[in-house]
């Protein structure tokens, strides 16, 4: 009797070992970093974020919300195309009452009056589904997005842009863009990235665009 139990136990051990050897095959295309995670999302905007005399080539991929809000509010009214440059003119302190107000606006704008995007460093060359990267204006210094992230972290603030930029501001097509550095508020929108990657080491921002409600 004892002998048979031993052989059964050995057989079971052999089975579990063969299963563990097979598992890694399923992980052929593992996402290694946040830039690769962003590539799995829909590209919504490519362009330059501008702060003072610096510009930061940025790609934004949609995490949730309505693409129509992005297309409507990030429109260049002079050319009819998409804006290629967004200038941060204000800051919003990362205080709870201010964050609660942003959350309230998102809820008010749901389901199709808001969008949340993941902003990462745009790669040079062949950027964007819409052709080449915008030309940097004279007097602006091109810098990496991580410098903007560091600045906002240091100020404990989000960047704020009133939309649309230029053009007539009719009530139907106005809104706000908030650019959040990594913080507790922004992490709530990156749960799937956290589950995939375990930790978010790369510098990034979470962009919230909210349409004004009448």
SS (H, E, C) the chain: CHHHHHHHHHHHHHHHHHHHHHHHHHCCCCCCCHHHHHHCCEEEEEEEEEECCEEEEEEEEEEEECHHHHHHHCECCCCCCECCEEECCEEEECCHHHHHHHHHHHHHHCCCCEEEEEEEECCCCCCCCCCCCCCCCCCCEECCHHHHHHHHHHHCEEEEEEECCCCCCCHHHCEEEEEECCCHHHHHHHHHHHHHHCCCCCCCEEEEEEECCC
Judge whether residue 181 has pLDDT over 80.
yes
pLDDT-derived band at 21, boundaries 50, 70, 90: very low
Which tokens in the block code for residue 189?
């929108």
SS3 83: coil
46 burial via Cβ count (<10 Å: 0-12, 13-18, 19+) = buried
Residue-wise pLDDT for 60-77, tens only, equals 999 999 999 999 999 887
Chain center to CA of 3: 60
Averaged confidence pLDDT in the chain: 83
Residue-wise pLDDT for 52-64, tens only, equals 999 999 999 999 9
At 127 the pLDDT is 44
- Rounded to two decimals, what is the model's pTM? 0.80
At 90 the pLDDT is 96
Judge whether residue 28 has pLDDT over 60.
no
Residue-wise pLDDT for 107-144, tens only, equals 998 888 999 999 999 976 544 444 456 777 888 999 99
Q: Residue 205's beta-bridge partner residues? A: 119
Which tokens in the block code for residue 161?
């842009």
The structural domains of the chain, ordered by start, are: 34-122+137-211 (2.40.290.10)
Residue-wise pLDDT for 148-173, tens only, equals 999 999 999 999 999 988 655 565 67
Among 26-30, 142-146, 156-160, 209-213, the minimum mean pLDDT is found in 26-30
At 49 the pLDDT is 96
At 5 the pLDDT is 54
């Amino acid at each position: 009797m004892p002998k048979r139990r031993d052989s059964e136990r050995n057989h079971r051990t052999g089975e579990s070992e063969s299963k563990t050897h097979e598992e890694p095959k399923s992980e052929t295309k593992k996402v290694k970093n946040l830039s690769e995670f962003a590539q799995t999302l829909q590209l919504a905007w490519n362009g330059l974020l501008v702060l003072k005399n610096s510009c930061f080539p940025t790609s934004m991929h949609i995490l949730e919300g309505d693409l129509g809000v992005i297309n409507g509010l990030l429109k260049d009214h002079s050319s009819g195309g998409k804006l290629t440059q967004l200038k941060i003119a204000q800051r919003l302190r990362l205080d709870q009452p201010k964050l609660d107000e942003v959350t309230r606006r998102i809820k008010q704008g749901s389901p199709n009056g808001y969008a949340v995007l993941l902003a990462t460093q745009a790669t040079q060359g062949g950027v964007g589904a819409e052709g080449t990267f915008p030309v940097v204006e004279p007097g602006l210094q091109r810098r990496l997005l991580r410098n903007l992230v560091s600045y906002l972290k240091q100020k404990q603030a989000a960047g704020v842009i009133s939309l649309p930029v230029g053009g007539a501001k009719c009530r139907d097509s106005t809104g706000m863009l908030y650019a959040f550095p990594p913080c507790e508020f922004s992490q709530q929108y990156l749960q799937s990235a956290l589950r995939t990657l375990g930790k978010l080491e790369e510098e990034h921002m979470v962009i919230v665009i909210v349409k004004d409600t009448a």
